[in-house]
Structure 1
């Protein structure tokens, strides 16, 4: 089977809790070459793109769903947008829940719009990460 517009609205279970730590924030900011003091404060906040670390686990649930027929090697990440309610901070315990928002099938490609809600384990919404993926079909032999 392949992904179709009928899969829009599919929501996956939340990821296991992830604890945001000062060490992980420091590691991420070093990789980016960031030197913003907010990222090294006593209780640091994470750079806005850090949420992709958490979202990636939620995306895996969609990529690994056998009903959708997706192959990671044929996926291009086309767009990414983050909408924050508040910064992600060291000490936050969060989980991510993915929803397939829209699917368009165009010739040999599927265009998949998804959103990931990143919430504390207590249910406080921190960020919504929206992404668009382009999935190409295998060429006919």
Structure 2
């Protein structure tokens, strides 16, 4: 059964805790050409580092057999991060994904999701809103 507007509101279990480390921040900063601030005791993550954390939550969406999504037919159309506070080295966080809206246009589905990132005590850190465009195989 493919994804439909009826899937809006579906939520997934939180990801396993992810530890933001100085090493991961330095690797990310090098990969995207941002200066690393690893000389601080608990350096702040670059704003787009949240994509690393939210990626694990996206996995629950793309591996859900009920939805029939195929990652190789997905375009990531939009991304927004809303921070409650910045991510820092030493943070231990989880990410929880929910489907906000599904629009179906022929063989194309437009899927809007939100991933809420919280520390392991449940305090909010950020919210990431994404829009994915998925094309059904029969459209090809």
Q: TM-score range by the shorter chain?
A: over 0.9
Matched positions, count = 140
Unaligned runs of 5+ in 2: none
Classify the secondary structure of the residue corresponding to 1:55. helix
Classify the secondary structure of the residue corresponding to 1:139. helix
Q: Following TM superposition, by how much is the alpha carbon of 1:78 offset from its aligned partner in structure 2, in angstroms?
A: 0.3
Classify the secondary structure of the residue corresponding to 1:132. strand
Could you tell me whether the CA contact under 8 Å between 1:26 and 1:40 is conserved in 2? no
Classify the secondary structure of the residue corresponding to 2:45. coil
Deviations 1:3-39 (A, max 9, x none): 00000000000000001001100110011111264x5
Runs of 4+ with deviation above 3 angstroms: none
Residue of structure 1 in register with 2:109 after alignment: 110
Residue of structure 1 in register with 2:5 after alignment: 5
Whole-Å Cα distance in 1 between the matches of residues 92 and 103 of structure 2? 34
- What's the C-alpha RMSD, in Å, of the aligned pairs? 1.3
Could you tell me whether the CA contact under 8 Å between 2:15 and 2:94 is conserved in 1? yes
TM norm structure 1: 0.95
